[in-house]
Amino acid sequence: MGIVYPAIRLSNPVRPDLGEITVMAVVDSGAIDLVVTEHLAAQLHLAELRPRQVRLAHGSSLRVRYVGPVKVETKGRDCTTSAYVLGEQILLGAIPMQAMDMIIHPRDHRLVPNPEHPELPGAMILAA
């Protein structure tokens, strides 16, 4: 499957006066969370949370800043999450993708709303 680069809008729900920023992200369903750049975290005035230890793809381990909340919007879907601060590329991982009920279309290499739930995001919740 090819690399998917959707436009996503990021904002700080605690500071709506700052507006939103549209960025191109790399979608990686093998990654867990959202990753933002230092510059973007500063622009959105994202609050500092406890640092996190992450393992990079090549195997090394690194302590990174963890910030939030950050609102992610694309294709009429949205979610609020936290983000790792690292590198020079915005990365959209599996958790925000699932929260928005988005999938990677295998033929078109696009991020699209789940066709099983075209009107609004769906989720599976196990009830007791």
Is residue 126 in some structural domain? Answer: no
Is residue 120 in some structural domain? Answer: no
In angstroms, what CA-CA distances link 8 with 1, 24, 55, 59, 124? 20, 6, 25, 28, 24
Is residue 40 in some structural domain? Answer: yes
Q: At residue 74, what are phi and psi to the nearest 5 degrees? A: -165, 145
Q: What is the pLDDT of residue 43?
A: 97
Taking only the tens of pLDDT, the chain with its 128 residues reads 568 999 999 999 999 999 999 999 999 888 899 999 999 999 999 999 999 999 888 889 999 999 999 999 999 999 999 999 999 999 999 999 999 999 998 888 899 999 899 888 888 788 76
Is residue 127 in some structural domain? Answer: no
Q: What is the pLDDT of residue 128?
A: 67
Q: At residue 33, what are phi and psi to the nearest 5 degrees? A: -115, -170
Q: Which residues contact 108 (CB under 8 A, 6 or more apart)?
A: none
Helix (H) or strand (E) holding 78: strand 77-85
Is residue 89 in some structural domain? Answer: yes
Is residue 51 in some structural domain? Answer: yes
Q: Domain limits at 47? A: 7-113
Query: How many domains is the chain partitioned into structurally?
Result: 1
Is residue 84 in some structural domain? Answer: yes
Q: What is the pLDDT of residue 123?
A: 82
Q: At residue 40, what are phi and psi to the nearest 5 degrees? A: -65, -45
Is residue 34 in some structural domain? Answer: yes
CATH code assigned at 84: 2.40.70.10
Give the predicted TM-score (pTM) of the model. 0.90
Q: What is the pLDDT of residue 28?
A: 87
44 DSSP assignment: T
